[in-house]
Amino acid sequence: MANEGALPEHNAAAPASGADDRRDDRAALALAAANMGEFEYDSERNEVLVSARMAAITGLPAGLLKDGREAIYGCIHVDDRERVRTLMAKDLAELGRYELRYRMVRPDNGRVRWMYSAAAGDPPGQRPFKRLIGVVQDITERRADDELRASMVAELDHRVKNVLASVQSMALQSARKTASLDVFLKTFAGRLEAMASAHTLLTATRWRGAEIGNIAAAELGGLAPGQAHWQGPEIVLNPRATNALTLALHELATNAVKYGSLSTEGGRVDVSWAPVVGGGFELVWQERGGPPVIVPQKRGFGCTLLERVTGRELGGSAVLEFRPAGVRALFRADASALASAPSAATPTQQADPATTIEPALALGQVQASSGVEAADDIRGVRVLVVEDSVLLAIELESGLTEAGADVVGVAATLEEAQAMLALDFDVAVLDANLNGESVTPVAAALAARRAPFIFATGYRDADITTEAFEAPVVRKPYNVHQIAAALVQAMNAAKTSRAANAN
């Protein structure tokens, strides 16, 4: 009677079999949901059992494959094959399982796909394994998304560093040409707000570009209601041109409020723009009704921004005229300054000042990253500067000149840099990326003639090809001491190399 409540043995086994069936059904459903296909590999017979799901994913025939090892390895991309062999053998020996990602060429259509494969030895703990039980999954789209994400992060990192470098250069240039701390703080803060305004406009379109009407509204909308007017067709600028035009309009507006037509109630500012033949546009700033204009005896950094930076960043020109009746500025831009229209509709006529976009950029203290502690003596050294940001190039030219170097040329494009290789210089500073073009051809030409050079870049090592050259790399944002020390390092290395080759 002690066993009165016990179930017969065969009855106890029956539910277990049903549970196993349900587990198999759930496993099959999970594999299908994850878009995975399963396989079994018999090492003693060298046979692979390919499931229907795996066949659909890989293009292999379903069922039992003789010469299974060769059938599987034969589909792996030739560039990944040896790596897969090595890692699989290592992980199976050490861990009893493996996880791999590799390219395969589908045998049914020849397409290259990225695959994820994982398997474990059966029975566990046995060496060598009699069987491998595993799954495969097509991860081509996921891999593409990961690569795109990594590329976007790298580009964001590059842009942030370039922005910080531009802010640093603008601060130094503003300080050089400002007589007092109070004036510096006000002018620099205004320029920083203009940069923030440009970034706010670009963020709204996910950095596809900004429309000229919105740029004008952001800079003029809240200054003098009724005294500033802007009009023109919808023209969308790329991020680089957006920053340049925003800073230019800020400088002109600030000057108009302090000294020009917006300093009196009867004054007026008219801004108009129109496309030109061949692409690009012209924009005219005209002041009227203000105090008589006096030509400044000393050119400040605002004039430098307008005359040297804006035109170059727009791919065209900038002309600033101090006419007695009012300041006039003419900006010409070529087609390279334009971008495709943002997806969201953007107004092109005068905006309500209440909708003017407020700047939102906080500047923290930035520590330049470099192993160089102090600048070496570069007095008399002839330097070629290749830098696509005109603002950074101006600061670098000023800093190197103050340190005693002779800047023989400044190039902003790959074409200009290649043309300036004919100049007589001792060492070059190369921005790794020139408005989307790699500086590699210039670096290769310098390396071929054993001329010293350094890279100045906001990209990480993985994002540029500097590792192909034995040249120092200085990260943005940088200062002139870091650049000078790197220049001396490059020149000393070139001198040592020449001496070794002579012996």
The domain that holds 199 is classified in CATH as: 3.30.565.10
DSSP 76: B
Give phi and psi for 355, each to the nearest 5: -100, 5
Q: Find the mean pLDDT for residues 114-120.
A: 92
Tokens of 179: 């007589």
CA angle 305, 311, 315 (to 5 degrees): 140
pTM, two decimal places:
0.50
- Give residue 72's pLDDT band: very low, low, confident or very high (50, 70, 90): confident
- Final residue before a domain boundary, out of 138, 166, 188: 138
Q: Which residue has the higher pLDDT, 72 or 124?
A: 72
SS (H, E, C) 175-244: HHCCCCHHHHHHHHHHHHHHHHHHHHHHHHCCCCCEEHHHHHHHHHCCCCCCCEEEECCCCEECHHHHHH
CA distance 390 to 387: 7
Whether 162 maps to a domain, the answer reads no
Crossing angle of the two packed helices 140-176 and 390-402, in degrees rounded to 10: 50
Whether 367 maps to a domain, the answer reads no
Q: Is 180's pLDDT higher than 80?
A: no
> 123: domain range?
28-138
Tokens of 311: 């035109």
Q: Is 461's pLDDT higher than 50?
A: no
Whether 156 maps to a domain, the answer reads no
For residue 340, what pLDDT is reported?
A: 60
Let me know how long the chain is: 503
CA distance 272 to 286: 9
Q: Find the mean pLDDT for residues 468-494.
A: 84
- Are 128 and 222 within one domain? no
Give the model confidence (pLDDT) of 33-66 as tens digits: 778 889 999 888 899 999 999 999 999 999 998 8
Instruction: Answer whether 338's CB lies under 8 Å from 237's CB.
Output: yes
- Are 414 and 487 within one domain? yes
- Final residue before a domain boundary, out of 90, 109, 138: 138
- Are 388 and 332 within one domain? no
Q: Is 115 helix (H, G, I), strand (E, B) or coil?
A: strand
- Are 270 and 225 within one domain? yes
Tokens of 497: 């190399």
According to DSSP, the residues that pair with 99 across neighbouring strands are 118
> How deeply is 25 buried, as exposed, middle or buried, from its count of CB atoms within 10 A (0-12, 13-18, 19+)?
exposed
Q: Which residue has the higher pLDDT, 194 or 84?
A: 84
- Are 77 and 128 within one domain? yes
Q: Which residue has the higher pLDDT, 298 or 68?
A: 68
For residue 458, what pLDDT is reported?
A: 67
For residue 14, what pLDDT is reported?
A: 42
Q: Find the mean pLDDT for residues 426-431.
A: 92
For residue 425, what pLDDT is reported?
A: 94
Domain count for the chain: 3
CA distance 132 to 249: 69
Q: What is the percent of the chain where pLDDT is above 90?
A: 27
- Are 320 and 200 within one domain? yes
- Are 331 and 433 within one domain? no
Q: Is 1's pLDDT higher than 70?
A: no
Asked if the peptide bond before residue 477 counts as cis, ω within 30 degrees of 0, the response is yes
Q: Is 392's pLDDT higher than 90?
A: no
Q: Is 426's pLDDT higher than 50?
A: yes
Instruction: Answer whether 315's CB lies under 8 Å from 337's CB.
Output: yes
Give the model confidence (pLDDT) of 191-200 as tens digits: 677 667 776 7
Number of H helices, E strands in the chain: 14, 20
**E-assigned strands of 228-298?**
228-231, 236-237, 268-275, 281-288
Helix (H) or strand (E) holding 490: helix 480-502
